[in-house]
Amino acid sequence: MLNPQVADRPAPIPQAISELWELVLAYFKQETTEPLKGLARVVGFGVVGSLFLGSGVIFVWIGVLRLLQTEGANTFDGNLTVIPYFIVILGLLGTAGVVFKLGTRTKTTAPDPTKDAVL
């Protein structure tokens, strides 16, 4: 035996299995839980931002309703007092339609100019 500190035999099987299990757990934590924490942070900011944006849109349309009720007081008299509500509802539906259309559009890629080039 040249070096008495180095063992001639490999580690016993139960110890090797234990070390393998610890290695797998450490890898799992590194590759899954840490990226998920970052993803949760991004999703949290997105949810908070969308709540603020939605609240702002609602407040703007309530302001439009109030504007129509006060400035158009002589216009919307009697049975026409419901007209500002219909205008605001149509505005909210239009806003929702625009947001839906923007959210569901597909992204097109620019055509590759080298494909159509004549050589």
pLDDT confidence band for 3 (50 / 70 / 90): low
Going by pLDDT thresholds of 50, 70 and 90, the confidence category of residue 67 is: very high
Among residues 22, 24, 20, the alpha carbon closest in space to that of 11 is found at 20
Q: Are 84 and 70 in contact (CB under 8 A)?
A: no
Nearest to residue 64, comparing CAs of 34, 83, 94, 88?
Answer: 88
Q: What is the pLDDT of residue 68?
A: 92
Residue 96 has pLDDT above 90, yes or no: yes
Is residue 112's pLDDT more than 80?
Answer: no
- Would you call 95 exposed, middle or buried from its count of C-beta atoms within 10 A (0-12, 13-18, 19+)? middle
Please check the confidence at residue 113 and state whether its pLDDT lies above 90: no
pLDDT of residue 15: 85
Predicted structure pTM score: 0.60
Position of tokens 């509802």?
Answer: 89
Give me the mean pLDDT over the 2-14 stretch: 66
* H-state helical runs in the chain: 13-28, 34-71, 83-104, 113-116
SS3 112: coil
